[in-house]
Amino acid sequence: MANHDPISDMLTRIRNASEKRHETTKIPASRLVRNVANVLQQEGFIAAITEEGEGVTKQLVLELKYSGKHRQPTIRSVQRVSKPGLRIYKNNRQLPKVWGGLGVAIISTSKGVMSDRDARKQGVGGEVLCYVY
């Protein structure tokens, strides 16, 4: 089955794996998905990223993080903002703060995929891909 929105697929796989307390989850690899995963790792939501397979079957293996005695997921919620049917763009002054700065908005800018904090520092806006907290 063809996947027309790899970001939504990635977020759904992460959401499902964290709800079931899986250690890892596999996601079909692409450059955009890899960049979003790198932002999640930099912000502390994912422990590690590895690749397996070759060519078309290449997949990213994301190691999810949990905290506390009862293994509460670090990623409590992921929400897709900009969709293929309705793109959401914000300039650097309109970039959202997720949960008062506790969460992160992932932005696709002309300088690459980055968090909302980095986009504000660099003074660039772009497409708001998702919110993670």
Confidence (pTM): 0.93
User: What is the reported pLDDT for 83?
Assistant: 94
Interhelix angle 6-19/31-42, nearest 10 degrees: 40
Under 8 Å between Cβ of 114 and 37 = no
User: What is the reported pLDDT for 2?
Assistant: 61
Report d(CA 28, CA 9) in Å as an integer. Answer: 9
Q: What is the mean pLDDT of each run of 10 residues along the chain (133 residues)?
A: 85 96 96 97 97 94 95 94 96 93 95 97 97 96
